[in-house]
Amino acid sequence: MWVRLMEQKNETSEGDFILLGFSDQPQVEAMLFVVVLISYLLTLVGNTAIILVSCLDSKLHTPMYFFLTNLSFLDLCFTTSIVPQLLWNLKGPAKTISPMGCAIQLYVSLSFGSTECVLLTIMAFDRYVAVCRPLNYTTIMHPSFCKTLAGISWLSGVGNTLIQGTITLRLPRCGHHHLHHFLCEVPAMIKLACVDIHSNEVQLLVATLVLLLLPMALIVVSYGLIVQTVIKLKSSQAWRKALGTCGSHLLVVSLYFGTSSVIYIQPKRTLGHSQGKFLTLFYTVVTPTLNPLIYTLRNKDVKGALRRLFKRKQNLQRKIRK
């Protein structure tokens, strides 16, 4: 009877993908489980707090915090599409994911990751207008225009995912199910194909140019214009104000694009190696944890809004007690 049950189990799991992940470093898996779990909990708390503060405090109803709310929501969804499966694989010997689960993870994580690339570029444009065109800021960054820009970022992410994800999942794998990664993503998935993948690599390169390198170039241009404007002012106060306005975003951009570009620009060299896995772990798990910390620790408006909310809550509790 036990033999039959095992046979049935093997039959049902025959098509499952095996996420090898960090299985070649079992001594590291227990430590990673704790680190990833703590990072995920901090991500949930930090990004949820920013969303609530931005929505509840009227003083934060500005374009900058509108985009920051979108970024926090993206980070929540992005990490949630990856971390639960990663924690499950890290805690025990079972490291499988069903074909449907793999497809969902691929579509969802790629969609949110692509959207974040475009959104960070839009946020750089917002900072450019705030520093270089301060008198026209409210006119240019009108609420309807901000919603249009946010919609473009979401549509571009979804459109890229429908193209890349569908093409990747349709590749014949000839029974290859051992994925040398801890998540289902395009560079790792195309390595399972048993046909010539040159066209897929070209398509991945084009997508990387459009959604990774182009946004990076536009961000560099935006900050180049900001630096040029501040230099003309010849004021230390202007430098401090510009740093306060742009510092948090610039740090977030450096963390996200700095690691993700290494993975996607040269996937052949990094994929399947410990360095590539840890870099992916950083931009998919650690960066979304750091984003709310960066924006709260370096931002007086957010810290002020948090204090006002806590005071409001304390006053409400006092009234209830009375």
The two tokens of residue 26 are 């079992």
Fold of the domain built from segment(s) 16-321: Rhopdopsin 7-helix transmembrane proteins (1.20.1070)
Check residue 55 and give its pLDDT: 87
Alpha helices in the chain (DSSP H): 2-12, 26-56, 63-80, 83-91, 99-132, 137-140, 143-169, 186-189, 198-208, 214-233, 236-265, 267-270, 274-281, 287-297, 300-321
Question: Sorting pLDDT into bands at 50, 70 and 90, what band is 43?
Answer: very high
Asked whether the predicted pLDDT for residue 8 surpasses 70, the reply is no
Check residue 13 and give its pLDDT: 52
Strand pairing partners for 97? 17
Question: Sorting pLDDT into bands at 50, 70 and 90, what band is 47?
Answer: very high
Asked whether the predicted pLDDT for residue 244 surpasses 50, the reply is yes
Asked whether the predicted pLDDT for residue 6 surpasses 60, the reply is no
Q: What is the mean pLDDT of residues 226-236?
A: 83
Distance of CA 253 to the CA centre of its chain: 11
Top pLDDT among 176 and 33 is at 33
Question: Sorting pLDDT into bands at 50, 70 and 90, what band is 319?
Answer: low
Top pLDDT among 81 and 95 is at 81
Report d(CA 156, CA 26) in Å as an integer.
39
- This prediction's pTM: 0.86
Top pLDDT among 143 and 294 is at 143
Question: To the nearest 10°, the Cα dihedral for 125, 147, 139, 215?
Answer: 10
Asked whether the predicted pLDDT for residue 320 surpasses 70, the reply is no
High-pLDDT (> 70) share of the chain, %: 88
> Which region among 81-85, 252-256, 257-261 has the lowest average model confidence (pLDDT)?
257-261
Mean pLDDT of the chain: 83
Question: Sorting pLDDT into bands at 50, 70 and 90, what band is 83?
Answer: very high
Q: What is the mean pLDDT of residues 86-105?
A: 88
3-class SS at 178?
A: strand
Asked whether the predicted pLDDT for residue 18 surpasses 50, the reply is yes
Instruction: Tokens 């810290």: give the residue.
Output: 303
pLDDT tens readout for residues 266-307: 655 444 456 778 888 888 998 999 888 888 766 677 777 777
Q: What is the mean pLDDT of residues 73-100?
A: 90
Asked whether the predicted pLDDT for residue 195 surpasses 50, the reply is yes
Top pLDDT among 192 and 303 is at 192
- Beta strands 17-19; 96-97: pairing state: antiparallel
3-class SS at 19?
A: strand
Check residue 4 and give its pLDDT: 33
| CA distances (Å), origin 55, targets 61, 65, 67, 161, 217 | 7, 9, 12, 29, 31
